[in-house]
Structure 1
Amino acid sequence: MHSYDTHDTPEVLDRREGPHGEVVLRRHGELLQIIANGCFLMDTSDGRSERLLVDAAYGALDGRPGPSVLIGGLGVGFSLAHAAADPRWGAITVVERERAVIDWHLDGPLSVLTEKALADPRTRIVEADLLAYVDETSDTYDALCLDIDNGPDWTVTEDNHGLYSAAGLAGCARLLRPGGVLAVWSARPSPEFEGSLWNAGFQRVRTEEVRVARGVPDVVHIAVRPG
């Protein structure tokens, strides 16, 4: 979910109507981009903040052996690929609500980024809306890495706001084992969300920044469920 190169005219590679509107995969120069309902979400230009999302979550687990991680949002695959490249992670589950995005990774242009990760026996892809999954699953995880929006204050669809509400954060806490970590990617810092994390009962709340070429830094919000 970053800025992109303005050179050349974007080429639409696929356009689908999904359960939450239109999703588009396009090529812009050397970059692949995902657009949802006309809103630029992410591209393949960097991946630093997605890698930080995964690494910060692992670091906050304080050396827990073989931790499981749930990644909310497949996107262009940076988070999944980075987690799968790290042998310290145990089970890796990715929840993605757009069938088109999954297809682009399984047998489309994005497979070049995630083919190895998807073949990893630790990896499982779940096609589901993350909010519904949080409400319905009985599975629990050591880490929950969320990258489904441009941040808590800038959601892709209106219903995603519920994930960052008191009820949504309580659901995230239920998914986490004691001492588990919630990591949330955002295109800009959100002091209000930090307050929401404290109010939801999380501990060790902090924000890590990733400097970008222009504008405010990307950030990862980190919080730990009490043990």
Structure 2
Amino acid sequence: MSHPAHAMPDRPVHVSGPPAPGGGPRVLDRREGPYGEVVLRERGEHFEIIANGCFLMDTSDGRSERLLVDAALAELAEPGEPGEPGEPGGAKGPHGVAHRVLIGGLGVGFSLVRAVEESRWGQITVVEREAAVIDWHRAGPLSAVSGAALADPRTEIVAADLVAYVREGAGPRRFDALCLDIDNGPEWTVTEDNGGLYSPAGLAACRKRLTPGGVLAVWSAQPSSAFEQALRNAGFTGVRTEEIPVVRGVPDVVHLARKGA
């Protein structure tokens, strides 16, 4: 397994039994939910999340998750609109504007923590479908990573399936940035249903949820020229891919695209 938190293994990593005599991972919690099995493991000083036998992420690095949020904010070159009347606000950035960001997937919490560190994010909505993951952050081992970020008044945790939320559940709400990290990439989804997020209809729904000039940022364990073209076909502009070098194998990437003003 490479150091970056989402580095793609050579093959899916399956949950093991008791730790090996040499010091293998230790299972802290294992749950069956509507989307299959999720497992929290401890390996040395770090935690790992496994979904349906497939390694998702761990706490060994976090560069990928931080870049996902940083790159989206950097793309928002022009000040966005403040929050809608009645919506929660937060600290203002240098332009007096509080950007609204939707983070798809709580994961190990690095993206949320990074967003909270930046005052220009005035509203931070995290959509996570696995109740177990939310529990691990609120009252479990991962609270050591995200406890302060969860307590930030700008943070909102929504327990929902991201695909459904983007298409239907968000109502009239729109965001200045969508930072999506629920799979190992558009071409390696955790569950089959997630594929709908990267389909023409799913990308159209993402575009609809963005404010004019808003940014879509999608994490992936490998580059995808096909996904870049899908973004262009969906009407996004400024499509580009930013790489995060890894110890071995292909780099992690963040796909970036903008909604026209």
Q: TM over 0.5: same fold?
A: yes
- In structure 1, the residue corresponding to 2:125 is in which secondary structure? strand
- Aligned with 1:191 (options 206, 212, 225): 225
The answer (yes or no) to whether the contact 1:179–1:225 under 8 Å persists in 2 is yes
- Measure the CA separation in 2 of the matches of 1:74 and 1:63: 27
The answer (yes or no) to whether the contact 2:8–2:221 under 8 Å persists in 1 is no
Q: How many corresponding residue pairs?
A: 226
Bigger radius of gyration = 2
The one-letter code matched in structure 2 to 1:131 is V
Deviation at 1:8, TM superposition (A): 2.4
- In structure 1, the residue corresponding to 2:218 is in which secondary structure? strand
Partner residue, 1:181: 215
Query: Are 2:117 and 1:85 aligned?
Result: yes
| 1:4-51: CA deviation from partner (whole Å, max 9, x where unpaired) | 8x9721100000111100000010111100000100000001100111
- Aligned with 2:180 (options 139, 146, 149): 146
Query: Are 2:120 and 1:105 aligned?
Result: no
Please say which of residues 214-223 and 59-68 is displaced more in the overlay.
Answer: 59-68
Partner residue, 1:59: 74
- Measure the CA separation in 2 of the matches of 1:3 and 1:107: 28
- Measure the CA separation in 2 of the matches of 1:2 and 1:27: 17
Partner residue, 1:74: 106
- Measure the CA separation in 1 of the matches of 2:23 and 2:67: 30
- Aligned with 1:44 (options 55, 59, 62): 59
The answer (yes or no) to whether the contact 1:2–1:43 under 8 Å persists in 2 is no
The one-letter code matched in structure 2 to 1:216 is V
Deviation at 1:66, TM superposition (A): 1.3
Aligned counterparts, 1:205-224, within 5 A? 205-224=239-258
- Measure the CA separation in 2 of the matches of 1:2 and 1:90: 30
Deviation at 1:91, TM superposition (A): 0.1
Aligned counterparts, 1:107-186, within 5 A? 107-136=139-168, 137-138=170-171, 139-186=173-220
- Measure the CA separation in 2 of the matches of 1:49 and 1:149: 13
Deviation at 1:182, TM superposition (A): 0.1
List structure 1 runs of 4+ shifted beyond 3 angstroms.
none
Structure 2: any 5+ residue segments left out of the alignment?
A: 1-5, 10-19, 80-96
- Measure the CA separation in 1 of the matches of 2:188 and 2:71: 22
Q: Please tell me the root mean square deviation across aligned C-alpha atoms, in Å.
A: 1.3
- Measure the CA separation in 2 of the matches of 1:126 and 1:87: 21
Instruction: Give the share of equivalent positions with the same residue, in percent.
Output: 68
| 1:97-137: CA deviation from partner (whole Å, max 9, x where unpaired) | 00000000000000011011000000000000001101112
Structure 1: any 5+ residue segments left out of the alignment?
A: none
So what's the TM-score if we normalise by structure 2?
A: 0.85
- Measure the CA separation in 2 of the matches of 1:17 and 1:147: 21
- Measure the CA separation in 2 of the matches of 1:123 and 1:21: 27
Query: Are 2:238 and 1:204 aligned?
Result: yes
